[in-house]
């Protein structure tokens, strides 16, 4: 009886250790890191989505970004910028793990919004979800402050091509 | 390709039609009349004997609103007696955000002992007229004698997470300048927050 219990425990341990995807570490960044992504001297179109775990419409549109990321299109780089408070990074990590999110998530720890928000886009009122798409090759960029529906993300990317 | 074009067109139409007219700094504010948490109607014209008002579009559910709640209560404590009382307005569609139902509004106001209105903008017409987009979204109004004019639009201060770390108190600075007979030097800021939950959006 006791041995069976030990075996069970070992099996459980092994199972938990070999879970399919290790949850990604969520890096906490400052605005200069975001700026580096926005000004990336890259060939890929940068798709930057601003969201937070407490934002219901953000969570609704997240699968669109996750699906885009999973296409592994070498011409597109997707980054999710979490606007959760920095002390909630554990919550963001937990969320990413629960949803099996593979898209890179960075938590932007810049509480003095008026010091940087216009640098993302002057038209941004400050609400999320918001999405910025930049084509570093031709310099075209598109900023939208709303929840995207199926197909809209592709249309935005097409508009900067 | 045709499909993409169609989507683009649809998207452009949505963007254009989604932009309501809105007040800018210096604009006159039309009177409004909304139901308060105590069931009584409150109009902006009820405040015609005040120097102005601090109108805040707010809600029960947004983390930023929660973080700022005590600061909103403190603003009224500090400025109501000086002629700038706080008026909070909840414009969230309760279908989209059940935590902003009328019952939840009453509960919030009672639990936090609101000594200022917490109004329900059921049709969202007032939020649209103001051009409010987020919660909390502040509009400091100045009573010119003949009407109310917008003197400041934006956020409360520069640290939503921690009141004691805020070192730019935009709303307080605006009201202090108005009380001193000056114009507001920093009349516009942006408020990161939760988008107002519009009907059928």
Q: What pLDDT digit, counting tens, does each position of A106-136 carry?
A: 999 999 999 999 999 999 988 899 999 999 9
Q: What is the ipTM of this complex?
A: 0.74
Is the CB of B155 inside 8 Å of chain A's CB atoms? Answer: yes
- pLDDT per residue as tens digits for the range A35-45: 999 999 989 99
Whether B69 maps to a domain, the answer reads yes
Task: Note if the bond before A67 is cis, omega within 30 degrees.
Answer: no
Whether A112 maps to a domain, the answer reads yes
Partners of B155 on chain A (C-beta within 8 Å) are 113-114, 126
Q: Would you place residue B14 in the very low, low, confident or very high pLDDT band (cuts 50, 70, 90)?
A: very low
* CATH label of the domain that carries residue B67: 3.40.30.10
Whether B77 maps to a domain, the answer reads yes
The verdict on a CB contact (< 8 Å) between A128 and B194 is yes
Q: What is the pLDDT of residue A19?
A: 47
Whether B54 maps to a domain, the answer reads yes
Among the listed residues A65, A71, A73, the one whose alpha carbon sits nearest the alpha carbon of residue A49:
A65
Whether B8 maps to a domain, the answer reads no
Q: What is the pLDDT of residue B191?
A: 84
Whether A110 maps to a domain, the answer reads yes
- pLDDT per residue as tens digits for the range B60-77: 999 999 999 999 999 999
Whether B12 maps to a domain, the answer reads no
Full residue range of the structural domain in which residue A43 is found: 21-160
Stretch B76-99: mean pLDDT, rounded? 97
Whether A15 maps to a domain, the answer reads no
Q: Would you place residue B154 in the very low, low, confident or very high pLDDT band (cuts 50, 70, 90)?
A: very high
Whether A14 maps to a domain, the answer reads no
Q: Is the confidence at residue A83, as pLDDT, over 80?
A: yes
Whether B5 maps to a domain, the answer reads no
Q: Is the confidence at residue A22, as pLDDT, over 70?
A: no
Is the CB of A122 inside 8 Å of chain B's CB atoms? Answer: no
Closest CB from B63, B158, B191 relative to A54: B63
Provide the whole-model pTM. Answer: 0.83
**Position with higher pLDDT, A62 vs A22:** A62
Is the CB of A41 inside 8 Å of chain B's CB atoms? Answer: no
Stretch B106-115: mean pLDDT, rounded? 98
Q: What is the pLDDT of residue A28?
A: 97
Average pLDDT over chain A, rounded to whole? Answer: 89
Buried b (16+ CB within 10 A) or exposed e, B80-101: beebbbbbbbbbbbbeebeebb
Stretch B29-52: mean pLDDT, rounded? 98
Is the CB of B60 inside 8 Å of chain A's CB atoms? Answer: no
Question: Could you give the CA distance from residue B32 to residue B180 in angstroms, rounded to a whole number?
Answer: 28
Q: What is the pLDDT of residue A13?
A: 52
Q: Is the confidence at residue A98, as pLDDT, over 90?
A: yes
Q: What is the pLDDT of residue A21?
A: 55
Domain count, chain A: 1
| Structure-derived torsion over alpha carbons of residues B12, B197, A29, A47, reported in degrees to the nearest 10 | -20
- Which of A82, A113, A128 best probes binding to B when mutated, by most B CB atoms within 10 angstroms? A113
Buried b (16+ CB within 10 A) or exposed e, B108-144: bbeeeebebbbbbbeebebbbbbbbbbbbbbbbbbbe
Query: What percent of chain A clears pLDDT 90, i.e. is strictly above it?
Result: 79
Full residue range of the structural domain in which residue B126 is found: 22-195
Whether A149 maps to a domain, the answer reads yes
* CATH label of the domain that carries residue A42: 3.40.30.10
- pLDDT per residue as tens digits for the range A61-77: 999 999 999 999 999 99
Closest CB from B62, B190, B201 relative to A114: B190
Domain count, chain B: 1
The CA-based angle A147-A153-A159, given to 5 degrees, is 125
Q: What is the pLDDT of residue B186?
A: 96
């Amino acid at each position: 009886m006791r041995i069976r219990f030990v075996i069970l425990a070992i099996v459980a341990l092994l199972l938990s250790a070999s879970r399919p995807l290790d949850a990604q570490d969520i890096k906490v960044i400052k605005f200069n890191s975001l700026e580096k992504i926005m000004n990336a001297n890259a060939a890929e179109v940068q798709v930057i989505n601003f969201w937070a775990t407490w934002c219901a419409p953000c969570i609704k549109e997240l699968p669109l970004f996750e699906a885009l990321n999973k296409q592994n299109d070498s011409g597109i780089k997707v980054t999710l910028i979490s606007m959760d408070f920095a002390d909630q990074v554990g919550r963001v990590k937990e969320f990413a793990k629960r949803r099996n999110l593979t898209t890179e998530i960075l938590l932007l720890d810049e509480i003095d919004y008026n010091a940087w928000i216009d640098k993302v886009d002057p038209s941004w009122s400050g609400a999320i979800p918001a999405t910025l798409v930049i084509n570093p090759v031709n310099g075209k960029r598109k900023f939208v402050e709303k929840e995207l529906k199926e197909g809209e993300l592709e249309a935005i990317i097409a508009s900067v091509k | 390709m045709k499909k993409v074009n169609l989507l683009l067109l649809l998207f452009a139409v949505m963007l254009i039609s989604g932009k309501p007219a809105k007040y800018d700094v210096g604009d006159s504010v039309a009177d409004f009349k909304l139901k308060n948490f105590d069931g009584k109607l409150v109009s902006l014209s009820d405040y015609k004997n005040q120097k102005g008002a601090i109108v805040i579009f707010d809600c029960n559910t947004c983390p930023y609103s929660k973080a700022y709640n005590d600061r909103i209560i403190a603003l009224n404590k500090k400025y109501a007696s000086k002629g700038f009382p706080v008026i909070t307005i909840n414009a969230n569609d309760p279908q989209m955000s059940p935590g902003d139902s009328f019952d939840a509004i009453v509960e919030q106001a009672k639990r936090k002992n609101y000594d200022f209105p917490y109004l329900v903008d059921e049709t969202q017409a007032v939020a649209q007229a103001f051009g409010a987009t987020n919660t909390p979204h502040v509009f400091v109004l100045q009573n010119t004698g003949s009407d109310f004019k917008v003197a400041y639009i934006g956020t409360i201060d520069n640290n939503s997470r921690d009141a004691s770390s805020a070192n730019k108190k935009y709303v307080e600075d605006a009201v202090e300048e108005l009380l001193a007979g000056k114009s507001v030097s920093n009349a516009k800021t942006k408020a990161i927050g939760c988008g107002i939950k519009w009907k059928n959006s």
